[in-house]
Structure 1
Amino acid sequence: MSVIRVEDADGVVHDLEPVEGWRLMEILRDYGMGMEGCCGGSVTCAACHIVLDPQWADKVPPPRDDELEKLDELPFLHDTSRLSCQIIWSDELDGLRLTLVKEA
């Protein structure tokens, strides 16, 4: 069984069982992690902003230009900020660690 370790905005850690080929946003949404996925992955809302654990940042595919542009519009960023709608789950990501962003 593959796992994603997610720290929510309150600091509680959750181990989620992902589905191959799904966007991280979809997995987080379906587990009730407060991820609405407003734009459905079209990179227009940035509501799925996450922070990857630094040890994992280079193990996921790099962001495309449209994702980088949308991230630049956010009021604050972390070095490993990403949009979860742009990361597709594969078993190579087993053990991935990320933090949900507390916006306010």
Structure 2
Amino acid sequence: MTKKTHPTPLLDELKSGPWPSFVDGLQRLAEDDEKPNADMMKDLLGQLEHSYETRKGYWKGGTVSVFGYGGGVIPRFSEVAEKFPESSEFHTLR
């Protein structure tokens, strides 16, 4: 069963500007229920909308570096994971 899409009226406003919007890409990924990450994108959009509503960022984390290499992992953990469980954490390789 697929997850229900969160309403995103504030994010939808960003799509009306003259420049391409990152929201279009996230919504496209969320709409494709055949993809394994669709539910994660739906919760990510929900958390982002929540951040715009409250004017607060809910990501915490740090970096894990590889000494002498200049790369590592940037982990991000959501402070509202109970509300948006599918997007509770992200890890970016650098």
TM-score by length of 1: 0.23
Q: Which has the higher helix share?
A: 2
Greater relative CO (CA pairs within 8 A, separation 6+): 1
